[in-house]
């Protein structure tokens, strides 16, 4: 890890460790996930003007009306899709700045990540390449459609909130696979996990969250 990735001052190892301890206190238990939060340089995924706030447990703007998710939520969602092992194929809907992708990447076999806003996607590609992350395939497209040609997936993770979960995404989940998504209108979103058992989907409630809405189309 070079000096830029290690960070200094408010982006230093000590600052990151305080964030990890906060997440432990909030219930994050998987040491693999905590290690990723500790080691992924979140300050590289935000504008330089916001770098001093990168290790606060809060969402931050990344442009185009989008945000980098709160570290607790990233950790919670990562735990929820990787519980019990390493999913071989993961669909990520909403690449955004690439931070969630970077946290998840070593805990998955391969990630298929879709982003509808092309400038965000290109910047995320560059950052992940700089960090040596090579097991991600990207697509500029409408995430609500999923990636049918690569289905079924062992896990699906949504980084934006639909009012109701698109059935097209559930259908792309493999047997025993897990889909984790924030669902609901702005201000009343709930993080849900669906586990596929044949034609049935077991639903679990993981808590209330706040995400940008899942939009269709591309820009």
| Kind plus residue range of the DSSP H or E element containing 196 | strand 189-197
pLDDT (average), residues 3-20: 75
Which residue's structure tokens are 């946290």? 103
pLDDT at 13: 86
Q: Is it the case that residue 8 has pLDDT exceeding 90?
A: no
Number of H helices, E strands in the chain: 7, 9
In a domain, 21, yes or no: no
What are the φ/ψ torsions at residue 106 (nearest 5 degrees)?
-70, -10
| Res. 5 pLDDT band, cuts 50 70 90 | low
pLDDT at 29: 96
- For residue 88, the enclosing domain spans 58-209
pLDDT (average), residues 16-44: 97
Q: Do 91 and 155 meet the contact criterion of CB atoms below 8 Å apart?
A: yes
In a domain, 65, yes or no: yes
pLDDT at 92: 98
In a domain, 2, yes or no: no
In a domain, 218, yes or no: no
pLDDT (average), residues 102-123: 98
What are the φ/ψ torsions at residue 76 (nearest 5 degrees)?
-65, -45
pLDDT (average), residues 54-73: 95
Active site residues: 69
pLDDT at 6: 59
pLDDT at 12: 80
- What is the percentage of the chain residues whose pLDDT exceeds 70? 95
Whole-model pTM?
0.93
In a domain, 120, yes or no: yes
In a domain, 42, yes or no: no
The number of folded domains in the chain is 1
Q: Is it the case that residue 161 has pLDDT exceeding 90?
A: yes
Q: What is the CATH number of the domain that holds 176?
A: 3.40.50.150
Computed over every residue of the chain, the mean pLDDT equals 94
pLDDT at 165: 92
In a domain, 20, yes or no: no
| Res. 11 pLDDT band, cuts 50 70 90 | low
Q: Do 34 and 75 meet the contact criterion of CB atoms below 8 Å apart?
A: yes
In a domain, 180, yes or no: yes
Tell me the C-alpha distance between 175 and 167, whole Å. 15
| Res. 125 pLDDT band, cuts 50 70 90 | very high
pLDDT (average), residues 64-73: 95
């Amino acid at each position: 890890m070079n000096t830029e990735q290690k960070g200094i001052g408010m982006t230093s190892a000590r600052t990151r460790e305080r964030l990890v301890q906060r997440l432990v206190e909030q219930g994050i238990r998987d040491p693999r996930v905590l290690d990723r939060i500790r080691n992924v340089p979140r300050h590289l995924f935000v504008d330089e003007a916001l770098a001093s706030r990168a290790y606060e447990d809060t969402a931050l703007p990344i442009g185009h009306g989008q945000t980098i998710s709160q570290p607790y939520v990233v950790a919670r969602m990562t735990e929820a899709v990787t519980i019990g092992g390493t999913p071989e194929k993961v669909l990520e809907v909403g690449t955004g700045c690439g931070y969630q992708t970077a946290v998840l990447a070593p805990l998955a076999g391969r990630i298929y990540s879709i982003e509808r806003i092309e400038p965000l996607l290109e910047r995320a590609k560059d950052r992940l390449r700089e960090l040596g992350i090579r097991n991600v395939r990207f697509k500029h497209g409408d995430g609500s459609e999923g990636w049918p040609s690569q289905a079924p997936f062992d896990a699906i993770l949504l980084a934006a909130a639909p009012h109701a979960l698109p059935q097209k995404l559930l259908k792309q989940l493999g047997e025993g696979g897990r889909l984790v998504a924030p669902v609901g209108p702005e201000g009343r979103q709930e993080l849900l996990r669906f586990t596929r058992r044949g034609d049935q989907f077991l639903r679990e409630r993981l808590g209330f969250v706040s995400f940008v809405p899942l939009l269709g189309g591309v820009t």
